[in-house]
Amino acid sequence: MIKHVLSPLDFSVQELEDLMDLANDIEKYPDKYAHACAGKQLATLFYEPSTRTRLSFESAMLSLGGNVLGFASADSSSAAKGESVSDTIRVISCYADICAMRHPKEGAPLVASMKSSIPVINAGDGGHQHPTQTMTDLLSIRSLKGSISNMTVGLCGDLKFGRTVHSLINALVRYPGINFVLISPPELRVPDYIIDDVLKPNNVPYTECTELEEAMPKLDILYMTRVQKERFFNEEEYLRMKDSYILDRAKMELAKKDMLVLHPLPRVNEISVEVDDDPRAAYFKQAQYGKYIRMALILTLLRLSGAVPMELPS
Ligand code: CP
| Same-domain check for residues 138 and 221 | yes
Residue 203 Cα to ligand 1 middle (Å)? 31
Please confirm, yes or no, whether 115 is among the known catalytic residues: no
The predicted model gives 277-305 an average pLDDT of 96
Within a domain: 309:
no
Identity of the residue numbered 106: E
Do residues 216 and 255 make contact, with C-beta atoms less than 8 angstroms apart? yes
Do residues 179 and 154 make contact, with C-beta atoms less than 8 angstroms apart? no
Please confirm, yes or no, whether 53 is among the known catalytic residues: yes
| Same-domain check for residues 95 and 117 | yes
Please confirm, yes or no, whether 229 is among the known catalytic residues: no
CATH number where 249 lies: 3.40.50.1370
Q: What is the pLDDT of residues 2-61, one digit of tens each?
A: 999 999 999 999 999 999 999 999 999 999 999 999 999 999 999 999 999 999 999 999
pLDDT at 281: 98
Does any ligand 1 atom lie closer than 6 A to the CB of residue 266?
yes
Within a domain: 209:
yes
Within a domain: 310:
no
- Which one of the listed residues 130, 142, 163, 291 is annotated catalytic? 130
Helix locations, 49-189, DSSP H? 52-63, 85-95, 108-115, 131-145, 163-172
| Same-domain check for residues 99 and 58 | yes
Q: Cα(116)–Cα(263) distance, rounded to whole angstroms?
A: 32
Please confirm, yes or no, whether 102 is among the known catalytic residues: yes
Query: To the nearest whole percent, how much of the chain has pLDDT over 70?
Result: 98
Within a domain: 313:
no
Q: State which of 46, 265, 270 you would mutate to test the pocket of ligand 1, scoring each by most atoms of that ligand within 8 A of its C-beta.
A: 265
Ligand 1 atom having least distance to the Cα of 51: 7
Q: How many domains does the chain have?
A: 2
pLDDT at 284: 98
Within a domain: 312:
no
- What is the extent of the structural domain holding 125? 8-129+290-301
pLDDT at 312: 62
| Same-domain check for residues 172 and 274 | yes
| Same-domain check for residues 153 and 257 | yes
| Same-domain check for residues 15 and 30 | yes
Name the residue among 217, 241, 239 with its Cα closest to residue 158: 241
